[in-house]
Structure 1
């Protein structure tokens, strides 16, 4: 502390000069309208630039909360869209207007993700306290991501589409032919569309989407695009390679979809011994 006082004492003349200059400038600006206007305009521009930079910094650090609110809002809009997409009957039934939508959507942030394993998983920052349940389908704005495997109070583990044991019930959008999408454990950008018969006409560029023939995903969520078709080796099915719609190396936020009728469908399939893809 003594050194600081000694340093200030040594430069006392300079500090006095600066103080007198500030007083002089203030007096000139206060007593002369022309110089005052120029001074205050300049100072306003300087302060405005500082405030603008400060605002940019604040906005940058608030992007996370902004993204979270956008994901939650999009989840609400997806639920509304699903209501509008309910297939219309040829005859209007008044009771239909009282039925609620089959699906409900929630948003969450991905906090962990693996890519290099043969059985990859993701972790999200929401769990049972937020209404997340085992078996819910998971997707993002690009396409299918996976399915919820296990849930704790505040977190959930998701089986990634990049998992060699996960099958997704799929269809070719152009002709409604059904199949199953499965990852072969090799390239994280590619997967196989299985069980499509050889007589089916499939073309490069065909879009693959969820079929809606299960209790997990609504119909029409993107899965990928056909990039290669070959005759299957010694089988009656085509060997179809698709490029996945979802870039798993850049997943930040996801949507989770709950089918209110899933438990009923699971019980029905279990009682009849039916095995179906998710």
Structure 2
């Protein structure tokens, strides 16, 4: 303790100088508003920087707990989202009472697909054990995909719309003019609409949908849009080219539709010698 007093005694002149300077500064700041404002602003700036640095340091050390809270929050949100997420193999379609009584819908995943042949097929991971039957129509959220050709217990093969022997009963959505859609084996993104008379007005951009005139597809499922119309050569029908609404290079999940009255309709067509598309 004595050494401390001796040290302070030795620097007594310096301490007196600091004390007088402090008093002088105090007097200047107290009696001069301009100098007082400058000192006050400088002090605030220094204090603000110190507090900001302190906050950053505290935030850094609290990141672990913040991250954990965010992870827990995200987990809860994902759990809530899963309740509203549509299962991949499920079908949600708004149907009126008549359509609900006539058709049943199922979901499936495509496990094999071809687009480079003149007669292309798809394979789905559902079969007779899941209620899949021959002749069921196949489509996705974009439009028509094809028709079930053969079924085993757990799988089924589907005739793709990109098949030269598949005809789909079609119509122009805006005018109700009907015909048939068939692929010409040229471009996997395009097809032809057949049997539309030359006097009918068809415009580029018209949407073509299923007509509902056969027992395979309900009415109104998209097929494509008209991209070219011209008089057919040596025929009384128009030459109509469609851009297909379904992108067959990316199809993944599909819906299958069963007409509950298909057998009755087929018996009627058979007895009347009518060819059903």
Structure-1 residue corresponding to 2:66:
45
Structure-2 residue corresponding to 1:207:
207
Instruction: Kindly state the Cα deviation for residue 41 of structure 1 after the two structures are TM-superposed.
Output: 2.8
The 2-side partners of 1:140 and 1:258 are apart by: 14
The 2-side partners of 1:39 and 1:263 are apart by: 71
Instruction: Kindly state the Cα deviation for residue 269 of structure 1 after the two structures are TM-superposed.
Output: 1.3
Taking the TM superposition and a 5 Å limit, the aligned residue runs for 1:21-40 are none
Instruction: Kindly state the Cα deviation for residue 274 of structure 1 after the two structures are TM-superposed.
Output: 1.2
Structure-1 residue corresponding to 2:5:
none
Q: What is the total number of aligned residue pairs between the two structures? A: 217
Q: Is the 8 A contact 1:104 1:259 kept in 2?
A: yes
- The change in CA–CA distance for 1:199 and 1:39 in structure 2 (over 3 A counts) is closer
Instruction: Kindly state the Cα deviation for residue 82 of structure 1 after the two structures are TM-superposed.
Output: 2.6
Structure-1 residue corresponding to 2:165:
165
The 2-side partners of 1:46 and 1:82 are apart by: 45
Instruction: Kindly state the Cα deviation for residue 133 of structure 1 after the two structures are TM-superposed.
Output: 0.5
Q: Deviations over 1:153-172 (max 9, x none)?
A: 11110000000000000001
Q: Secondary structure at the match of 1:112?
A: strand
- The change in CA–CA distance for 1:102 and 1:40 in structure 2 (over 3 A counts) is same
The 1-side partners of 2:88 and 2:252 are apart by: 13
Structure-1 residue corresponding to 2:223:
223
The 1-side partners of 2:239 and 2:98 are apart by: 32
Structure-2 residue corresponding to 1:83:
96
Structure-1 residue corresponding to 2:38:
none
The 1-side partners of 2:60 and 2:240 are apart by: 72
Taking the TM superposition and a 5 Å limit, the aligned residue runs for 1:33-112 are 41-48=62-69, 51=71, 69-72=87-90, 75=91, 77-78=92-93, 81-84=94-97, 101-112=101-112
Q: Secondary structure at the match of 1:123?
A: strand
Ranges in structure 1 where 5+ consecutive residues have no aligned partner: 1-36, 87-99
Superposed structure 1 runs of 4+ greater than 6 Å apart:
37-40
Ranges in structure 2 where 5+ consecutive residues have no aligned partner: 1-57
Q: Secondary structure at the match of 2:95?
A: helix
Q: Deviations over 1:153-206 (max 9, x none)?
A: 111100000000000000011110110000000100000000000000000000
- TM-score w.r.t. the length of structure 1 is 0.71
Instruction: Kindly state the Cα deviation for residue 266 of structure 1 after the two structures are TM-superposed.
Output: 1.1
Structure-1 residue corresponding to 2:248:
248
The 1-side partners of 2:60 and 2:168 are apart by: 68
- The change in CA–CA distance for 1:67 and 1:195 in structure 2 (over 3 A counts) is farther
Structure-1 residue corresponding to 2:182:
182
Q: Is the 8 A contact 2:197 2:237 kept in 1?
A: yes
CA RMSD of aligned residues (A): 2.7
The 1-side partners of 2:223 and 2:133 are apart by: 22
The 1-side partners of 2:151 and 2:165 are apart by: 19
Say yes or no: does 1:124 pair with 2:115. no
Structure-2 residue corresponding to 1:10:
none
The 1-side partners of 2:165 and 2:59 are apart by: 72
- TM-score w.r.t. the length of structure 2 is 0.72
Q: Secondary structure at the match of 1:225?
A: strand
